Structure 1
Amino acid sequence: MRRLRHPVHRRTVEGHRTRRVGHPTRHAPAVRRRQAARHHRRTPSHAGRARAPGARPGRARAEGRSDREPRPRRRATYTRPHGVRHLFAAYDLARDKLYGHVKPKKNRTRFLEFCRYLRSLYPPKIRIAIVLNNFSPHLTTKKDSRVGDWAAANNVELAYTPTNSSWLNRIEAQFTALRYFALDGTDHASHKEQGSMIRRYIIWRNRHAADQRLRAVVDRANIA
């Protein structure tokens, strides 16, 4: 958040008028010149070294050192001209495996596609329970009951976490590890490159579920 540098004027309301309270002559040119003259008379000539107007202290020393390289900076991402991507992920507690699909949109249609994929990983006779938050694409509403109808027809139980309590879901710790190993400090050139990094991490994570570094990050982030 950028700080405001302009002076804030107090305002008082009297009846139906708004009056600005302040010193109208405080910023007059003649007053500023007299204040600057008094300041220079009080300041000794040897108080500081002369430097060019607008120059910052220490910049000349930094520019004089040829062995110092510019500070590496990541490019700004204030805007998203190419959109964003969404990760649909599931964590199997019994098998200790992580599954994930990267999609351009997150709606009920995409969510049901991922649920069908999860259902295909187990025999139809085995009832599975999916713990998820109450994000709108996960819910069954009067206008759209596809999620509830699909769960009832495919032997699936949907268990929702309380409002603002998605951290109770055990997969949240897996997301912490995903950010730590694959996303923190990165600057991917495209969504394809970022999606490839996420998929490679999921493959590595499922093959090295007992890795000590991975377990340390997950155990530190695990709440439930």
Structure 2
Amino acid sequence: MRWQATKTWKASTDSEFAQKMARILDLYDRSAAGQLDPGARVICVDEFGPLNLQPRPGRGWFPSGRPARLRATYHRYGGVRHMIAGLDLASGQLFYRLRDRKRWQEFLAFLHQLRRRFPSGRLHVVCDNFSPHRKAEVLAWCAGHDVELVFTPTHASWLNWIESEFTALRYFTLDGSDYPSHAAQEAAIAGYVRWANRHARPKKHFAPESKIRTRLPTERLPDEALA
């Protein structure tokens, strides 16, 4: 017997979990191997936030015996902001927009921006099952502009590669912070994203030795599968 940290894990109850996971991992692997159709891209999209103005716990360098104290936040009058971001697997770069809300209109506007950035080739957009992503207007626009929305299984956000990028973003810009304004917070986020993009590399090797790989078929799935 020994002391161990405990963790929680919420298993997916999606009846099509294996098929959806196989589709996403197949896209990841083909993107890494350069086997997508000419001009095609895999882009992982998700929302990050809400970003409110509050002191956030974290670790940092402080004088010995005098750790930083967090102020109380009984009232928060600064409102919130939402970040919509996309991770391009071919370059490893992040693209993002900060908005006051995260409705289907903001999501569709972000897709417009991705389509303008990559004007040719099919866009495979990996996203979760947030209701604005499934709005009829969004699906209709995607069908007419060669954009495929590839939905993760329910309770399986870890399959979206952008989640690991959000972990780094939170660590470097939010942990241990207490920004006085949204402008200051957004400037820190912008600075980190610029640095990360300068050092970005193509994304490869998603969970190469994970047990989830043993549940996948070895043959390539067609682009139309599970669309």
- Return the TM-score normalized by structure 2: 0.58
The percent of aligned pairs where both chains have the same amino acid is: 45
Could you give the per-residue CA deviations for residues 1-50 of structure 1, whole angstroms, max 9, x where no partner exists? xxxxxxxxxxxxxxxxxxxxxxxxxxxxxxxxxxxxxxxxxxxxxxxxxx
Partner of 2:125: 130
Q: Is 1:207 aligned to 2:198, yes or no? A: yes
Q: Which amino acid aligns with 2:107?
A: F
For 1:91, what is the secondary structure of its paired residue?
strand
For 1:92-103, list aligned pairs within 5 A: 92-103=88-99
Q: CA deviation at 1:69?
A: 8.2
Shift of the 174–71 alpha-carbon distance from structure 1 to 2, 3 Å rule, reads closer
Shift of the 203–134 alpha-carbon distance from structure 1 to 2, 3 Å rule, reads same
Q: Which amino acid aligns with 2:126?
A: V
Could you give the per-residue CA deviations for residues 108-165 of structure 1, whole angstroms, max 9, x where no partner exists? 11111111111111123x011100001111113xxxx111011011110000101111
Q: Which amino acid aligns with 1:115?
A: L
Runs of 4+ in 1 over 4 A off after TM superposition: 68-71
Alpha-carbon RMSD: 2.7
Partner of 1:51: none
Q: 2:162 aligns with which of 171, 182, 203?
A: 171
For residues 134 and 73 of structure 2, the distance between their equivalents in structure 1, rounded to whole angstroms, comes to 32
Conserved in 1, the CA contact under 8 Å of 2:104 and 2:132? yes
Q: Specify the structure having the higher radius of gyration (Cα).
A: 1
Q: Is 1:155 aligned to 2:140, yes or no? A: no
Partner of 2:223: none
Conserved in 1, the CA contact under 8 Å of 2:91 and 2:200? no
Q: 1:86 aligns with which of 82, 89, 95?
A: 82
For 2:80, what is the secondary structure of its paired residue?
coil
Conserved in 2, the CA contact under 8 Å of 1:133 and 1:160? yes
Q: Is 1:75 aligned to 2:74, yes or no? A: no
170-179 vs 70-79, greater mean Cα deviation = 70-79
Partner of 1:180: 171
Q: Which amino acid aligns with 1:87?
A: M
Aligned residues: 145
Which gives a bigger RCO, structure 1 or 2 (Cα 8 Å, sep 6+)? 2
Conserved in 2, the CA contact under 8 Å of 1:100 and 1:199? no
Q: Which amino acid aligns with 2:195?
A: W
For residues 114 and 72 of structure 2, the distance between their equivalents in structure 1, rounded to whole angstroms, comes to 37
Q: Is 1:190 aligned to 2:155, yes or no? A: no
Partner of 2:117: 121
For 2:126, what is the secondary structure of its paired residue?
strand
Conserved in 2, the CA contact under 8 Å of 1:89 and 1:100? yes
Q: Which amino acid aligns with 1:158?
A: L
Structure 1, unaligned stretches of length 5 or more?
Answer: 1-67
Q: Which amino acid aligns with 1:133?
A: D
- Return the TM-score normalized by structure 1: 0.59
Q: CA deviation at 1:81?
A: 1.7
For 1:87, what is the secondary structure of its paired residue?
strand
Conserved in 1, the CA contact under 8 Å of 2:128 and 2:152? yes
